[in-house]
Amino acid sequence: MRDHVWTDERNREQRRWVESLDEGTICSLASSFHGGDPCTIFQDRRRGSFNVCFFVQFTRPPHDRWVVRLPIAGAVPQPMLDEKLEIELATMRYVAAKTTIPVPKVHAYAFSNESAALDGHPFVIMDFVAGQDLNRLGFGRDEVWGDLLAPGQPQTPATRRVHEQIADVYVQLRRLEFPRIGALGVRSRRVPLTSCSPDEIVVCNRPLSVAMAGQERSGYGPLLAFPPRTTFSTASAFVKALLWLADNYLDKAPHLGMDVKEPKAILYAAHHFKWYVRQEWLDHSRNLGPFVLAHGDIDQVLGNTLFDDDYNLVGVVDWEWSWVVPAQFLVPPSWLAGDSPGNLLYAQDAFNEQCRRLLQAVREQPARRCHSAITLALKFPRLTYYVYWDYVFKAKSPRWRSATEKDVGQRQSTDFGSRIAAFMAGSQKRWDFLARKIREQVEFFEAERVRTKQSDPRQITDRPHFCLE
């Protein structure tokens, strides 16, 4: 998934594909759904991780502005492509009908092989939302937001306004309860997703994720645990599947970052993170629900909420990774303490204060455990190492919470070393697995060296990474 040896070439291919798209064809497509009215491109196409957007404006009054969005060829594996689109359209339709969350109106769409104009490529056409995301508004960087990393600082009006509206989105999503875990959709693709009754929308799709797409694209076979139309009746079954996804990544990814992560510490973190999630984090009293709708991306990406110049929320977009999950997964955004999810771990006091302020806006008490960090690792297995060592381990080992660089060096051979040694001594299979992963990592580094013409490959580290506050 993070195999940079071939990722660069894939990115170049996707860039060429995006650049090859003809704006005239896009305008003709939009016009065909607007009574044949002519339109023009009013701003440059915008490429994201999975989609490319074209922005069209019709020349006749009232000069409607639409967005024509296409999934980038190869960015989403074909087995997930139409399902992801169905999930997004069904969710937007449901949210628009059941809440006051601002969602763009969808005017037209096509699944694979349904659009002659685009040679069978899927698309969706929706209203353009005139707003800016928090990243473009300088969230956490400009003085209008205050110092989000400094605990005790007064909250600025802009930050308070954003908190109030994000809180309202969360409150409304929390009210949407369902009998199963999965993703929204319709029983038949013949049901029109732009005009169907919300009562026809049910949990009938598997809970797709960015990590799942990345593993499938890399050939790791994650869909073995998530066949089409898979849903879950219990939180424990869902979490078991997510932990399987993490094991699958650990087993099949050739690059685990062993130049900065000590190999044995990677295995230790993976093993103990699973134990912590199952035994301490998961709320077994709510195993049968409630299950609620979550955006799926809003908790770690700044770009999915759009605001006007007065910081009024005008649109919530990109519902393609939305899913229905245990209420425990509906967590505060990881970017509350700034524009980087890493601040969740590296500035925990500041993040917790921003969480308290957000929770105050919804008049709830803050959680005792950092649900945001745990759910982030469950959604993105590559973060398991950091979440375990920088959060779980410190939470369970108080004397490590304020460890300095010197402390880490001194304790590595005692506290840390003894823990790792005891763990590895417990199973020969762990040593065999570790030997294979080190061999794969060395081969990856050598292939990377040849491709990038470096003089020396990266080396396996013998020192663990720790977040030093």
What string of DSSP letters covers 400-430? GTT--HHHHHHHIIIIIHHHHHHHHHT-HHH
What is the pLDDT at residue 303?
A: 87
Q: Rounded distance, CA 26 to CA 56, Å?
A: 9
Q: Rounded distance, CA 412 to CA 464, Å?
A: 8
What is the pLDDT at residue 295?
A: 95
Same domain flag for 155 and 209: yes
Q: Is residue 213 part of a domain?
A: yes
Q: Is residue 81 part of a domain?
A: no
Which are the contacts of 288, defined by CB distance < 8 A and separation ≥ 6?
233, 234, 235
Residues forming beta bridges with residue 307, ordered by sequence position: 132, 313
Same domain flag for 304 and 387: no
What is the pLDDT at residue 366?
A: 38
Same domain flag for 402 and 449: yes
Fill in the amino acid letter for 298.
Answer: I
Residue 275 structural domain: 250-286+368-469
Which are the contacts of 372, defined by CB distance < 8 A and separation ≥ 6?
299, 331, 332, 333, 334, 344, 351, 355
What is the pLDDT at residue 4?
A: 54
Same domain flag for 326 and 259: no
Q: Are 331 and 377 in contact (CB under 8 A)?
A: no
Same domain flag for 342 and 391: no
| Final residue before a domain boundary, out of 331, 365, 399 | 365
Q: Are 15 and 74 in contact (CB under 8 A)?
A: no
- Kindly tell me if the per-residue pLDDT of 201 is higher than 60: yes
At 382 the three-state DSSP class reads helix
| Final residue before a domain boundary, out of 337, 365, 393 | 365
- Tally Cβ neighbours within 10 Å of residue 163: 20
Q: Could you report the per-residue pLDDT of 225-236, keeping only the tens digit for each?
A: 899 999 999 999
Q: How many angstroms separate the most distant Cα atoms in the chain?
A: 75
Q: Could you report the per-residue pLDDT of 46-96, keeping only the tens digit for each?
A: 999 899 999 999 999 999 999 999 999 989 998 899 999 999 999 999 999
Q: Rounded distance, CA 31 to CA 394, Å?
A: 57
Same domain flag for 306 and 442: no
- Kindly tell me if the per-residue pLDDT of 431 is higher than 90: yes
Helices (H), 33-103: 78-98
Same domain flag for 442 and 339: no
Q: Rounded distance, CA 362 to CA 164, Å?
A: 8
Q: Are 68 and 54 in contact (CB under 8 A)?
A: yes
Average pLDDT over residues 292-320: 92
Same domain flag for 210 and 311: yes
Among residues of the chain, what percentage have pLDDT more than 90? 66
Same domain flag for 317 and 464: no
Q: Rounded distance, CA 341 to CA 348, Å?
A: 11
Least confident of 24-28, 356-360, 379-383, 444-448: 356-360
Choice between 368 and 200, residue whose per-residue pLDDT is larger: 200
Q: Could you report the per-residue pLDDT of 256-280, keeping only the tens digit for each?
A: 999 999 999 999 999 999 999 999 9
DSSP string covering 337-374: TSS-TTHHHHTHHHHHHHHHHHHHHTT-PPPSS-HHHH
Q: Is residue 54 part of a domain?
A: no
What is the pLDDT at residue 277?
A: 97
Same domain flag for 300 and 412: no
Average pLDDT over residues 216-245: 94
Q: Are 111 and 189 in contact (CB under 8 A)?
A: yes
Same domain flag for 345 and 463: no
| Final residue before a domain boundary, out of 365, 394, 420 | 365
Counting the structural domains of the chain, the total is 2
Q: Is residue 100 part of a domain?
A: no
Q: Is residue 11 part of a domain?
A: no
Helix (H) or strand (E) run with residue 132 in it: strand 132-133
Q: Could you report the per-residue pLDDT of 384-419, keeping only the tens digit for each?
A: 999 998 888 877 776 666 666 566 555 555 677 788
Choice between 153 and 155, residue whose per-residue pLDDT is larger: 155
Choice between 270 and 159, residue whose per-residue pLDDT is larger: 270
Q: Rounded distance, CA 105 to CA 92, Å?
A: 8
**How confident is residue 377, by pLDDT bands cut at 50, 70 and 90?**
very high
Q: Is residue 39 part of a domain?
A: no
DSSP state of 156: P
- pTM surpassing 0.75? yes
Fill in the amino acid letter for 361.
Answer: A
Dihedral sign for Cα atoms in the order 273, 368, 99, 49: negative
Q: Could you report the per-residue pLDDT of 324-345, keeping only the tens digit for each?
A: 999 999 988 877 766 555 555 5
Q: Is residue 113 part of a domain?
A: no
Same domain flag for 159 and 292: yes
- Kindly tell me if the per-residue pLDDT of 191 is higher than 50: yes
Q: Is residue 435 part of a domain?
A: yes
Fill in the amino acid letter for 444.
Answer: F
At 226 the three-state DSSP class reads coil
Average confidence score pLDDT of the chain: 87
Chain-centroid distance, C-alpha 14: 21
